[in-house]
């Protein structure tokens, strides 16, 4: 395995590593959905929930550009030492089709950790909202919030202290096309997280959009028009929503959160070319403190943004 700084340009992502790593395992989780385990003790100790890596083949230039994938999980080797990371991906095109052919022992090129990650979940109740393959950052978020796994022991900058008030309840709202695309439900059950599923065709959970259970959660814990919240609900400033998925869904969740006065962060899945801040292919419009807006690079200043800071595309 070779390890080198990913960025040849100063000031971009100086702590990111570029590595040739070995595929440890590949497992099918759902329709067109796979978990890829990569050996990298360095990434296992540096990555935090919501960060991502760029992946590309190591012995070919087709595809030439890497593709971004969120940290799904870190794993330990049989001796309890940091082993590497898992990513979970949906096969949609050239790179992900190639990835699905990789076998244990194959070498691939990876660079990371990239992006900012979700803030430590310093709240009483945490709502995680995923659309489709947007579920991938959330097992790590939940594991950190529940104190099951510590992330980023060698992160730069340091991850910070554990949340002063970790969430007593986590709810995961998971929207998918149909039951066959739902991935990783067993893990959620083992974490004891309450899961609410919505599918387009009603083949699992309720039929319809994932915003339906989100709206119910908000009505229960942060009701509008002076209605009383559920007796167990904390003040709404102790509620928090993290969201990842199609932009239209994230915009709808962000709007609901704003209406109910609940803080919401979203993880953008903007297509990326370099992942290290050099090409500006990944920019998103973000509000600036002077009331205007400017572009921010999703790969460096994101992919996680406070939802109210984003300028959502009109018509979505
Ligand atoms: C920060 C970040 C984290 C991500 N994490 C994951 C993850 O954990 N698991 C996962 O499966 N995917 C994730 N993605 C999306 C993933 O990077 C794309 O699916 C991947 O680049 C597709 O590569 P491909 O060569 O297979 O498809 P391509 O051949 O490049 O494209 C196939 C089709 O998908 C469309 N497409 C490609 N990328 C995107 C995108 N980002 N958003 C919408 N449409 C797109 C193209 O326009 C095209 O129609 C993430 C993206 C970002 C930015
Ligand atoms: S992907 Fe190149 S600047 Fe973000």
Q: pLDDT per residue over 36-60, tens digit each?
A: 999 999 999 999 999 999 999 998 8
For the CA of 266, the nearest ligand: 1
Q: Could you tell me the distance, in angstroms and rounded to a whole number, from the CA of residue 69 to the centre of ligand 1?
A: 8
Beta bridge partners of residue 196, listed in sequence order = 173
Give dist(CA 304, CA 103) in Å, integer. Answer: 32
Q: Are 126 and 193 in contact (CB under 8 A)?
A: no
Residue 135: give its domain's CATH number.
3.40.50.80
Q: DSSP characters for 251-300?
A: HHHHHHHHHHT-EEEEE-----SSSSSSS-TTEEEEE-TTS-EEEEETTT
163-187 pLDDT, tens digit each? 566 888 999 999 999 999 999 999 9
Q: Relative to the CA of 136, which ligand 1 atom is closest?
A: 8
Domain limits at 257? 125-309
235 and 305 co-located in one domain: yes
Tokens of 184: 């990783």
Residues 7 and 96 in one domain: yes
The verdict on 239 and 285 lying in the same domain is yes
- Tell me the pTM: 0.94
Closest ligand 2 atom to Cα of 280: 3
Q: Is the CB of 73 under 6 A from ligand 1?
A: no
Asked if 209 and 239 sit in the same domain, the reply is yes
* Three-state secondary-structure class, residue 226: coil
* Among 84, 114, 144, residue at a domain's last position: 114
* CB-defined site of ligand 2, < 6 Å: 272-275, 277-282, 297, 299
Residues 98 and 137 in one domain: no
**Rounded (10°) CA dihedral 76, 78, 83, 86:** -60
Identify which of 247, 229, 251, 227 has the alpha carbon closest to the alpha carbon of residue 239: 229
CA separation for the pair 316, 172 (Å, rounded):
24
Give me the pLDDT at residue 162, please: 57
Residue 87: which CATH number? Answer: 2.40.30.10
What is the C-alpha separation between 9 and 301, in angstroms, rounded?
17
Q: Is residue 67 part of a domain?
A: yes
Q: How far is the CA of 235 from the centre of ligand 2 (A)?
A: 38
**Paired tokens of 115:** 């992006």
Residue nearest to atom 37 of ligand 1 (CA): 271
Domain-terminating residue out of 95, 114, 133:
114
| Calpha distance 145→170 (Å, rounded) | 9
Please identify, among 68, 92, 114, the residue that sits at the C-terminal boundary of a domain.
Answer: 114
The pLDDT value given to residue 157: 81
On whether both 260 and 290 belong to a single domain, the answer is yes
Distance between terminal CA atoms of the chain? 44
Taking CB atoms within 8 Å and a gap of at least 24, the contacts of 153-160 are: 153/45, 154/42, 154/45, 154/46, 155/45, 155/46, 155/47, 155/48, 155/113, 156/15, 156/46, 159/48, 159/120, 160/120
Residue 178 and residue 100 share a domain: no
CA of 87 to the centre of ligand 2 (A): 20
Provide the pLDDT for residue 3. Answer: 42
Q: pLDDT digits over 200-237, tens only?
A: 999 999 999 999 999 999 999 999 988 888 888 888 99
Tell me, in angstroms, the distance from the centre of ligand 1 to residue 228's CA.
Answer: 42
90 vs 133: CA distance, rounded Å: 6
Domain shared by 7 and 50, yes or no = yes
Q: Is residue 244 part of a domain?
A: yes
- Domain identity same for 89 and 194: no
Instruction: Tell me what the pLDDT averaged over the chain comes to.
Output: 92
Integer Cα distance of 230 and 219 in angstroms: 9
Beta-bridge mates of residue 5:
17
One domain, residues 64 and 153: no
**What is the total count of domains within the chain?**
2
Question: Are residues 130 and 102 both part of a single domain?
Answer: no
Q: Are 296 and 284 in contact (CB under 8 A)?
A: yes
């Amino acid at each position: 395995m070779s390890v080198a700084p990913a960025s040849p340009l100063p000031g971009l992502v100086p702590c990111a590593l570029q590595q040739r790593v070995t595929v440890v395992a590949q497992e099918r989780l759902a329709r067109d959905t796979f978990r890829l385990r990569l050996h990298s003790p360095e990434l296992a100790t540096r990555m935090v929930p919501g960060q991502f890596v760029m992946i590309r083949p190591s012995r070919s230039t087709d595809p030439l550009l890497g593709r971004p994938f969120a940290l799904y999980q870190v794993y330990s080797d049989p001796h309890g030492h940091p082993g590497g990371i898992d990513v979970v991906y949906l096969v949609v095109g050239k790179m992900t089709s190639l990835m699905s052919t990789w076998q244990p022992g194959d070498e691939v090129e990876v660079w990371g950790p990239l992006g900012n990650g979700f803030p430590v979940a310093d709240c009483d109740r945490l709502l995680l909202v995923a659309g489709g393959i947007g579920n991938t950052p959330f097992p790590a978020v939940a594991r950190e919030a529940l104190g099951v796994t510590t992330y980023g022991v060698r992160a730069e900058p340091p991850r910070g202290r554990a949340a002063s008030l970790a969430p007593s309840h986590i709810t995961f709202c998971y929207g998918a096309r149909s039951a066959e695309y739902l991935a990783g439900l067993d893990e959620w059950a083992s974490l004891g997280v309450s899961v609410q599923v919505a599918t387009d065709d009603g083949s699992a959970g309720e039929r319809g959009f994932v915003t339906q259970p989100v709206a119910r959660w908000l009505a229960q814990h942060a009701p509008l028009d002076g209605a009383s919240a559920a007796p167990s609900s904390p003040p709404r400033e102790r509620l928090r929503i993290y969201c990842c998925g199609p932009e239209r869904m994230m915009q709808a969740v962000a709007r609901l959160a704003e209406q109910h006065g609940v803080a919401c962060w979203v993880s953008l899945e903007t297509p990326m070319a370099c992942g290290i801040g050099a090409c500006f292919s990944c920019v998103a419009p973000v509000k600036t403190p002077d009331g205007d807006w400017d572009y921010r690079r999703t790969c460096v200043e994101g992919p996680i943004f406070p939802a109210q800071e984003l300028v959502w595309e009109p018509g979505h």
